Every structure is written in structure tokens, then in C-alpha cells.
Structure 1
């Protein structure tokens, strides 16, 4: 179509990034009062390009079942989200710095701004080198009146979405805090990782599943933060789609492979 026709007939649009032979990994997680139930640690043995995505629950999928049924799904505000790519401040250091945050431009993540976007999906394309050291990817959710507080406030997501979205909930990663579940708001999201080669011990990239304490200063938008509270998690549920398959495989594990 000509741009003149596009401007006349559409009020929005986007860019589709096509990688025909991409390996696609999806990890459902939840935010409990804006603290993620999981983070990921990326290590590479060769320069590797990643497409990293954080997806909100699509309101169009729950329209008419309780989520703003009297409103147009296109007018619903999505929870403001962001992804932070973090690496050691110095080689071998356990203090990390936020290197990149997602922005409105997938190809140009920001190295100096913390921008939470109200969108169905945000993403960034990044290149990671072995010399960067272990890289942490931290999903973020902005604290607002509708994203923190009692589980009784706002939409009860557990009743509106597929149960798979809550398999890796906050209680699974932090069982010692399970008693506070009724006092916090839990919102599901999905973390996506796409790259040209499969993850795992035989490839150039490994992604391990971790958790980080909700009191860590990374959640206060500090550019540097300690990682002594980053720990392994028990097996989590994820999906993996190979480029030659028309469907995703369901898996459990402590790393994506």
C-alpha cells in the first residue's frame, strides 16, 4: 500500500521483524506487587543476537469475560512494563549495572532512560558478547494503583486467563512468602527469547532461570545493584518452538533448552 492510503485507512501500525529460522522460547511468569517471579541469566561463548520480548496478557482474549466488558478492548490500558538488560559493572564483579532498557524502538534500547510502556508487548534486539560476562534480564512492572495492593483489587486474572500463565507464579519461586498472597496483586506476563540457534550446553548461548529478591535496589531504578540475592529456582514451565515445527513443545527445567 502507498503511505497515503495507510495514513487514510489506519490509525496505528508497527514493524514486523522476520527471522525465518528462529528458535522461540516463551516463559510465563507473574509480577507480585511488581516483583517478577523469575529473571534469566544469559551466558554466551560467541557473539549472539537476541530478540527479547515481554508480553502483557492480550485484553482481546479476555474481552467479555469480566475484563472491562463494557469498554472497547483497544481502549484498555495495559500495565506499564519494561525489560532491563544488566551486566557486571566490572569483569567478575557481583555488582551489576543496567546496560540497556527497552524503549519505544526495538532496535534502539536506551542506555540512560527507564521507560515503562503501556503496550501489549515490548521488545529489544541486543547483541551479547562473551566478554560481557553473565547477563541478567530483569522484567519490570511499574508500581501504580492498579498493579500493587490486595489481590481483590482490579481484575482477578486467575479467573480470566489460561492456567498456564500462573504455573510459574510468585509462590512457586518464593514459597516462604506464600502466606502474603492475599495481600498482593499478581499480574501475569510472558517473557520471550528468540535467536538463530538453539539454547543449551551444545550451543553458543545458555539461559538459566533465576530469581531475585523483591527488596533489591534494581526495582528502585538504581543504575547499579548487588546480585548476592540472585538465586537458582526449581524447575519452571516453558515452551520452545523450533523453526521447522508448526507447534511448540512444553518443557520443565532450570534452564531454557
Structure 2
């Protein structure tokens, strides 16, 4: 097994509303993800996937527990974690008046890259994501698939070792989704750790080396697709998922 990239230990996140009522976003999560693999968080909408990724990316502080990314604690060294990761949020927007290249230069400066480093990285990510044809086009003139590629490009402009992707292909047509899937696989092959959330079963089966099934903020099962098939005596990932969360098979 490769070196551990992400280690999650008894991670919990609670939300407290104005009346004092507590909602548990995730509870006692524990798993490891490694360099050179695609690790999937599989669950329905509201299962706790996005909360988990936001805690890992230091957007949210955990209520208890901890996680280490590239050797750094999300609670003790969040600034070092942010340097090591690229986080693609499902709700991330783009600055419509900027071109794709201007967006990438802006994020390059945010990550303290020199102008030379930024231009080199723009060429690299444009090649990896097939963006060269629209680098000089304003973001508000791009298609949804092109905007998603710009969002991923700004996520990786500083060449992080860990990619955290929240619903990376949701809402994209089949061609745009295929380009993102290809890039995710190539990132894994270059030794990156890719952790992604999805509720799309066939995408998880196609992409992920290992998955963890999350339901109501808790880990219900984890392992390779083969291990889960053996455990639940089901071939279809939809049926594996339903069995893991205690739902009736359709």
C-alpha cells in the first residue's frame, strides 16, 4: 500500500441552529486514503459527504476528532493543509468578467506562485484539461462543462498532492463529464490522492479504487468494490449501497 495521504480519526461535525437544536453533519468518521488512489465518498444528498469534505479542506472546524492531510492536522495546522490540497466545492463560482486565463493567474497569485511559475502551470493545466481553445474567453461566456474545467484548473494551479472534489461531474453532459473523469484518472496515475464525493453509483464504480458509504453522517461500509460485493453478496453497486444503509432492494 502507498503512503497515507489522508487519515481521518473519530471526526464529528455538529451544526447548532438559533434555537440550540443540534444537527449532526458527520459522526465518528474514520478512514485512510492513500497517494496514487481515487477514494470515493458515496452517499445520497444530505448524507454528510459535503460536510466531511469541508472539514477536510479546513472550511469548517470539526466539533471533535481530527484528520491529517499530507501529515498536517486540520485542527492544528490548517494553513499547511490548505497548501497541500486543492478543494473543488460544488458551490464554487467563477468571476464572470475575467477570462479563464485571468482566473488562473489570480489564483496563482493567491498561492504565492511567481509569474513564471503561474504561466507554466497555466500551460500544464490547460493541456491536461483541454482548455487551450477558451483560455482567453470570459468565464460568463463559457459552457457549463468549460466552467467546470476552469474551476478544476484553479483548484490545481499550485500543483497540490491531494485533490478534494465535491460532486465534480454533477450537471455535466456526457462529453464534459468524460473529460473530467479522464483528468481524475490521470491525476491518480501521477501519484495524487483524489478524494471525491458522488451520489452517482456508476461513476463511483468506474472511478474509485476504494469507497466509503456514508449515510446520515456515519460510515456504513468501506472497501474496494470487490470487497463490498463479497461482503454484501451483491454485484450491483446500487444494491450494495441499499444493503449497506439498511434500505429495501428495489
Structure possessing the higher relative contact order (Cα contacts under 8 Å, 6 or more residues apart): 1
Tell me the TM-score range normalised by the shorter chain: under 0.3
**Scaled by the length of structure 1, what TM-score is found?**
0.27
TM, length-normalised to structure 2: 0.27
Higher strand share: 1
